[in-house]
A and B are shown apart, each in its own frame.
Chain A
Amino acid sequence: MDTLLSVLELKKTYEVKKSIFSSKKDIIRAVDSISLELQRGSTLGIVGESGSGKSTLARCILFLERPDGGKVFFENKDLMTLKKNEMRTLRKDMQIIFQDPYSSLNPRKRVLETIGEPLLFHGYSKKDDLISKVKDILKDIGLNEDFLNKYPHEMSGGQRQRVAIGRAIATNPKLIVADEPVSSLDVSIQAQIVNLFLDIKEKRKISIIFVSHDLNIVRFISDEIIVIYKGKVVESGKTEEVFYNPLHPYTKMLIESVKADFIKKEPILNDNQHEGCAYYPRCNIKREICKKGSPSLTGDKIHKVACFVFNQPF
């Protein structure tokens, strides 16, 4: 298998004013030196809680937001060095699906225009045979031809998300980044959309980066996962390996919290910024060493973890 995408020490920081009146600024490291690789045809799940930087990471990978540092190689092309028009032609190979199909579709465009637009823009189709192309795509996303002339407000959330997926696959991309694509949908519809992802992946051999806070979905759909916490990767590896043998205390906590049949008493903590490991305030196996520095990601191809003490006995 060959590598489709590799990300090297990607960084993105935001400056936030401490208060409306002060000139002091806090620096928030939304993405803090994240590296990852995506093999052609495989699915990478990115897991993290809200504010962990997973959406920022997704957007930076596609250069929807320009990273502050690091490199992104897509088919061995360095995206940092590409010119605007080169980037634009490359866009047809990398598409995104957003979380909220209510706001990501243009309310004044019919399905035909929404799905047809990227086809025309990237020269995949002429006006004359646009309709038949869009019809083919509709078939793939499980909608019938009646939907061609519908507006977003005439569709349910699940149908809209199907259209958003249709638009993303229209140009036959090599990579799709899906940012929480099912979390705003109803339970019975979530399963349908996840199955649709699996179908598309099989049929079109598209690589997918699947961002979600829902561990169960990520486990179901991904070949590999990375777990991020406060902008850093704390654990990564083959999905089943990470699930059967989680090493980082944060991953363990996440997996236990979805597995448990009872409610565990969780300590309530305020984690402010501090030196050392970002997870220190919430960690249940912390030691003195964790206060001092930030652990780096170590391990082999199958499983990596960023923790000083994961393998030490209590």
Chain B
Amino acid sequence: MEGYIIEISNLYTSFFIDTQVIPVINDLNLRIKKGKVLGLIGESGSGKTMTALSILRLVPSPGKIISGRVCFEGKDLLSLTNREMESIRGNRIGMIFQEPMTALNPVIRVGEQISETLITHKGLSKKEVREISLELLKKVGFEDPGKRYIQYPHQLSGGQRQRVLIAIAISCNPSLLIADEPTTALDVATEAQILSLLKELIETQNMSMLFITHNLNIMKRFGDHIGIMYAGRLLEMAPVVDFFNEPLHPYSKGLIDSIFTLRPNEKRLKVIPGFVPRLSELPEGCKFHPRCNYAMDICKKDEPPMQDLGNERWIRCYLF
């Protein structure tokens, strides 16, 4: 469809461990508008990272994408050959991983790691690439790109490494950037730097972004749309402003209540009771019903389908 950079429909991904089949993504439908940021929120094990890996077809063994479609720039990524897929990864889709400490190769100079992507995808000479790499380092906020170019990752701080990773991710001018918890390992101040850098890049480079995080506070100030994942399912999708004004799903409400906002004079935090279920022991029906205050009989038996409520809001709940 026109206007969307990526459309995922009916995606299923499972892990095959011994004789068990553990579904990590179940019937996922989402799309991102061109030039917009979709924030994917979820707790650990909710399938948000697996969504990113499924898009890139990097689901680690024994995991497998079972069915679905991932439409990106008019192509179904799931039906491409490996060679074709390689020309998209890092080129049309950039990826920023969570751990800036481990995502860079410790024995290769920063500049070469940036150049590598460019040489692979653009077929440029080493000389041309050096110029572009220096330009990229400048773009991500280094004042002395020449010095950084020849440094090794261990000589950089966490925030600086994350900026190098961003430089690598945007080096080929991708149309989609996937950022998986890019600021989780960083301090508040560094986090703000990285977020403002990402925001600026999206605006100036006309990129779209899938932003994965467990931090609702960040999404409040960052994304355009928000998707809430739980146990491998998308439970709610909405424009950010509408979502925070009026969260619909009981889980979304619980999440917003349980974050620590700066409001004094409350003795206790409201909490979502119970524990996040294990993917191998999911309940019947709606996966959230054991923790839900509004659970009805039908929730225990049948899983609710994703409903379109209009105004770009979707929800997976029988209350609506």
Q: What is A's interface to B at a CB cutoff of 8 Å?
A: 49-50, 156-159, 186-192, 194-195, 198, 213-217, 219-220, 240, 243, 253-254, 257-268, 282
Known A-B contacts A187-B259, A261-B220, A266-B189; the reply to A194 vs B264 at CB < 8 A is no
Known A-B contacts A159-B275, A186-B276, A189-B276; the reply to A268 vs B193 at CB < 8 A is yes
A286 to chain B, nearest CB (A): 16
Are A263 and B222 interface neighbours, CB within 8 A?
yes
Any chain A CB within 8 A of the CB of B201? Answer: no
Instruction: State A261–B196 Cα separation when bound (angstroms).
Output: 13
Q: Chain A's interface: helix, strand, loop or mixed, by majority?
A: helix
- Partner-binding segment picked from B50-58, B71-79, B266-274: B266-274
Instruction: State A259–B192 Cα separation when bound (angstroms).
Output: 12
Instruction: State A187–B267 Cα separation when bound (angstroms).
Output: 18
Are B44 and A263 interface neighbours, CB within 8 A?
no
CB-based A-B contact count at 8 angstroms: 103
- In the complex, which residue of chain B has the Cβ closest to the Cβ of A198? B268
Are A188 and B192 interface neighbours, CB within 8 A?
no
A-B contact pairs, 17 of them (CB 8 A): A49-B188, A159-B275, A186-B43, A188-B276, A189-B43, A195-B268, A215-B188, A216-B261, A257-B189, A259-B262, A260-B221, A262-B221, A263-B196, A265-B196, A266-B192, A266-B193, A268-B142
Are B258 and A188 interface neighbours, CB within 8 A?
yes
Are B187 and A50 interface neighbours, CB within 8 A?
yes
Q: What is B's interface to A at a CB cutoff of 8 Å?
A: 43-44, 141-143, 158-159, 163, 187-193, 195-196, 199, 214-217, 220-222, 254-255, 258-262, 264, 267-272, 275-276, 278
B164 to chain A, nearest CB (A): 13
Are B255 and A188 interface neighbours, CB within 8 A?
yes
Inside 8 A of A253's CB, which chain B residues have their CB? 189
Instruction: State A262–B214 Cα separation when bound (angstroms).
Output: 18
- Which of A189, A191, A257 has the largest number of chain B CB atoms within 10 A? A191
Instruction: State A214–B44 Cα separation when bound (angstroms).
Output: 19
B4 to chain A, nearest CB (A): 25
Known A-B contacts A49-B189, A186-B214, A257-B192; the reply to A263 vs B258 at CB < 8 A is no
Inside 8 A of A191's CB, which chain B residues have their CB? 258-260, 269-272
Are B196 and A266 interface neighbours, CB within 8 A?
yes
- In the complex, which residue of chain A has the Cβ closest to the Cβ of B163? A268
Known A-B contacts A216-B261, A220-B269, A263-B199; the reply to A187 vs B188 at CB < 8 A is no
Inside 8 A of A264's CB, which chain B residues have their CB? 192, 196
